[in-house]
Each structure stands twice: as C-alpha cells, then as structure tokens.
Structure 1
Amino acid sequence: MKLLFLGDVVGRAGRDAVSARLPGLIEKHGFDLVVVNGENASHGRGLTEAHYHDIRSAGADAVTLGDHAFDQRDTLSYIAREEMLVRPINMVPGTPGRGATLVESRGGYRVLVINAQGRVFMNPVDDPFRAVEMAVSACPLGEQADAIVVDFHTEATSEIQAMGHFLDGKVSLVVGTHTHIPTADHRILRGGTALMADAGMCGDFDSVIGVEVDEPLNRFLTGISSGRFTPAEGEATLCGVAIETDPRTGLTSRMFPVRVGGSLSQAEPAFG
C-alpha cells in the first residue's frame, strides 16, 4: 500500500497548492491513501468547515489537526459529525471530535489514523504516549488495521523520535507536525516503523514558518507585538512523506520525503 502524508497546510497559499498539486500526485504515484494536517489552513490558525471540505475534495482521505484545532469558531459545530477529521487524541476528556479514525483506502485497505499533541513546549494536554498506545491496542496492526499512521503534533523533535521508538513495530508511520520545517531524518526503524521528525508545511517558504516576515522579525528585534501574524501568500511547497507498506505486516518497506513546488529543493517518491 502507498500512503502520502502532507504537513501543516498554512493559509491560502497552502490550500491553493494542495488543490492544484495533490490530485496530480495521487494519479502519478498511485497513492492508496492521503492524510493532510490542516490545523493552520484557515488564515493560519485552525480549520473552517469550508476549508476542510476543500482539502478533502483535493484528495485527502483524512485531515488531522493540532494545538490550533479549535481556533476557528465553527469547528465546534462540525467536528463531531466529520468522521475523517481527527483532533489530538490526548485532549481533555469531553473534547468534541475524535482522536483516531479508521479509514478505508482506495484499494480497500483499513488504515487507522491517529493524531496526538506533544507536551514539550506546548499547552497542557494528557499523556500522548499512553493515549496513542491505547488506540493502537484497540485496533492492532495486522488485525483490525492494515496500516497505522500517527501524526504527532509537537515542538520537540526529541519527543517525536521517542514516540517513534515507543511505537516501533506497532505502527506503519510516526511523523511530526507543527514546526513547519521538513527534517532530513526520515528512516525506517528496526521494527519496521517509518519515522520523520517533521513533515514540514504546505505553505510559502519565503516567510517565517509560513507567515509574512515583518511581524515576527519585529517581535524578535523589539519583543513588542505591533500586529497580527499574516500568512504569506507566495507560491507554496507541498511538504510531507510517502511510504509503501508490506501488505503482509503493515510495516514500512520504503520511505521517501516529498517536496513539490515553491522554493525548496524538489523531492518525489521513487516507487518504481
């Protein structure tokens, strides 16, 4: 099975790039399933219902969130009914929505998609390790699930790497989101789990992590806020990771970084 994961969609530039480029990537590489992190898609913070449907219409089978999950007011009104929208599983009990969902892929495979939020340099949440462990135990790889994808949304690459080793051999992919910068550490661990510390963003890299340069630069220089962060609107790069899993085990046999369009060096899967 071939799976594609795309990092945080940031603002209009990110949304436009997903709409323009994702359908072609699916057709070119034959992806069975696509997961997209959409937590910065609407004006840089959160995800409106309209923008959620735009990302789904472009080819995303599931959309994950993060610490900005509820920054858009209308999210509370639609998240509970959208089964393919996944917020962090370790938010406090009673939070609307779901932290994991079982998705049927184009080839008829069952893929468990889990979203979790880290605790290092992040707002307080429950233990992500135990929460993810419980979800995986309830829908084990090779039994109820043909593949398992974990989007771990956090600041610290060390926390993401720890999660990868914690789940090695139990899930197909652990990938970090949130920092918006793609890392070069993509690898398959000893037990067969693919790990990448950050998928990067789908956004304009002529920016400061997806926002226009002036305001963040001003805050670094003066320590004073002079306005709101505004998403950059130049040509975006789609950043993420692609994996191919072994149909017998659900573990990863091949893994490739993905960077398409915009100003970064380009990289696409070489499935052959």
Structure 2
Amino acid sequence: MRVLFLGDVFGQPGRRVLSAHLPQLRAQADFVIVNMENSAGGFGLHREAADAALKAGANCLTLGNHAWHHKDIFTMMQDEGTYPIVRPLNYSDPSTPGVGWRTFNVRTAAGLEKLTVVNLLGRVFMEAVGNPFLAMDDLLERDDLGTVFVDFHAEATSEKQAMGWHLAGRVAAVIGTHTHVPTADTRILKGGTAYQTDAGFTGPHDSVIGSGRDGPIQRFLTERPHRFGVAEASRAELNGVFVQIEGGRATGIERYRYIEEG
C-alpha cells in the first residue's frame, strides 16, 4: 500500500494548489490523506473546501485545533458517507461530535487492505485536551484496525518525536502537522514506523506560515497584536510525504514538495 499524506491546507491558495496538483499525484498512491485544518480562510474546514479536496482525489480529511471553527463541520460529520472526516481522537468528552479514527478498505495491487487513519492533538503550547499518548494506547488495544496511520497535530517537536518513539513498531506512520514548515528528519523508526516531525503545509509560498507577511512582522516589531490574514501570494506550495507500507509496517518514506512558478 502506498499512502500520500499532505500537510495543512491553508486558505484559498492552499485549496487552489491542492485542486490543481493533487490529480497529477493521485495515480502514484493507493490512498490520500489531507489535513484540512486551515483550509477555510486559515481556520478550520467548511463544506466548499471539503468538496474541493474530495473532488481532487483525497480519501480522508483530518483536522486539528481549529476543528470547530465553522458550523459546517457539525453537519458534515453527521454525513459520514459523503465526508470521510477524522477529528482529533483525544477529546475527553465522549459526546464530542465526529470520530477520532476511521477504518477504510483500500484497493491495492494485492487486493483490499484495511487502513485506519487516526488524528491526534498535542498538548504542549496548545489548548487543554486529553492525553494523546494514553488515547493511542487505548485505541491500539483493538485488533481490527489493520494498518494504522497517525496524523499528530502538535506544536512542540519534542512531543511529536516522543509520540513517534512511543508508537514505533506499533503503527505504520506518525506524521506531524500544525507548524507548516516541512522538517528534514524523514526516517523509518524501529519496527517499521515512518516518521516526520512536520509534513509542511499546502498554501501561499511567500508568506509567514500562510499569513501575509506584514501582520506577523509588525507584531514582532511593535510587540502589539496585529491582524493576520491569508497571504495573497501569486504562487503556492504543496508539501507532504509518500509512505510505502507492507504487512502493516512502513518500508519507505519520502518527502514531497511542489512550488508553483512565480
């Protein structure tokens, strides 16, 4: 099984480059996971963004700390047949809408294979949520998950690396999201777990992690709040990883980056 994972889609530029470029990549993967955490104006997911991602070839949409920003998400989560959305698993309230993991039957050259996609939310420098380590331990007690692929949406690199080692040999992949900058620590951990601290984002290239440059620069210069908006860049980038999986464990991982010409 070959899985393509694409990092945080950010605003209209991210949606545009995803719609334009993912169809070209689709034939290279059996299954595509796209983090849509920032796809609606930089915050959360709405129906328009979800429809565009699915049309472009995404099979599963993951989220993060802005999961609840748009009211569309609540109705989309109720329509599981149309919208294969996975929100963070580790919300402590059992009545939280949606699901934190979802199992898919993936058609590969070898036949149908079972793939479970999990979304976790970090706790360091983030809003208070349940313990993602314990949440994964509980989930992995199940014996019907098949291959497990984890999108860990977290701020701290230390927390992401700790999760990678905690799950090494127990899942096929732990790929980080949230910080929007692709890291160069792509590797396979012991036991066949593909790992990268952050996949990078899919959004405006000439920006400060997706925002127009002036707002963040003025905030750092003046030490006062300034409004951030999605950068109106002439070009966008798309970042992610391809993970090759055999027998429920990773045998290869490679970074992928595409930048539009200016």
Instruction: Please report the TM-score for the alignment, with normalisation by the length of structure 1.
Output: 0.90
Q: For the structure 1 residues 97 and 210, does the alpha-carbon distance in structure 2 shift closer, same or farther, using more than 3 Å as the test? A: same
2:139 pairs with 1:135: yes
**2:24 equivalent in structure 1:** 24
**1:102 equivalent in structure 2:** 103
**1:195 equivalent in structure 2:** 195
* C-alpha contact (below 8 Å) 1:173/1:195 kept by paired residues: yes
Shift of 1:180: 0.1
Shift of 1:136: 2.3
**1:122 equivalent in structure 2:** 126
Looking at structure 2, the residues matched to 225 and 26 of structure 1 have their Cα atoms a distance apart, in angstroms, of 41
**1:67 equivalent in structure 2:** 65
Secondary structure at 1:13's aligned position in 2? helix
Structure 1 unaligned segments of length 5 or more: list them. Answer: 264-272
Shift of 1:53: 1.5
* C-alpha contact (below 8 Å) 1:192/1:253 kept by paired residues: yes
* C-alpha contact (below 8 Å) 1:204/1:262 kept by paired residues: no
Q: For the structure 1 residues 119 and 251, does the alpha-carbon distance in structure 2 shift closer, same or farther, using more than 3 Å as the test? A: same
Q: For the structure 1 residues 126 and 98, does the alpha-carbon distance in structure 2 shift closer, same or farther, using more than 3 Å as the test? A: same
Q: For the structure 1 residues 232 and 166, does the alpha-carbon distance in structure 2 shift closer, same or farther, using more than 3 Å as the test? A: farther
Looking at structure 1, the residues matched to 53 and 192 of structure 2 have their Cα atoms a distance apart, in angstroms, of 30
Q: For the structure 1 residues 109 and 231, does the alpha-carbon distance in structure 2 shift closer, same or farther, using more than 3 Å as the test? A: farther
Alignment match of 1:45 (pick from 39, 43, 46): 43
* C-alpha contact (below 8 Å) 2:207/2:233 kept by paired residues: no
Secondary structure at 1:109's aligned position in 2? strand
**1:172 equivalent in structure 2:** 172
* C-alpha contact (below 8 Å) 1:120/1:156 kept by paired residues: yes
Structure 2 counterpart of 1:234, one-letter code: S
Structure 1 counterpart of 2:233, one-letter code: E
Deviation per residue, 1:207-238 (Å, 9 max, x gap):
00011101111111112224342344332111
Q: For the structure 1 residues 122 and 232, does the alpha-carbon distance in structure 2 shift closer, same or farther, using more than 3 Å as the test? A: farther
Identity score, percent: 42
Deviation per residue, 1:21-66 (Å, 9 max, x gap):
1111112x2x111100001001010000121121111111100000
Structure 2 unaligned segments of length 5 or more: list them. Answer: none
**1:79 equivalent in structure 2:** 77
Structure 2 counterpart of 1:118, one-letter code: G
Q: CA RMSD in A?
A: 1.6
Shift of 1:158: 0.9
* C-alpha contact (below 8 Å) 1:172/1:194 kept by paired residues: yes
Deviation per residue, 1:184-216 (Å, 9 max, x gap):
001001111011000000012210001110111
**1:158 equivalent in structure 2:** 158
**1:266 equivalent in structure 2:** none
Secondary structure at 2:3's aligned position in 1? strand
Instruction: Please report the TM-score for the alignment, with normalisation by the length of structure 2.
Output: 0.93
Higher strand share: 2
Shift of 1:167: 0.7
Looking at structure 2, the residues matched to 234 and 120 of structure 1 have their Cα atoms a distance apart, in angstroms, of 34
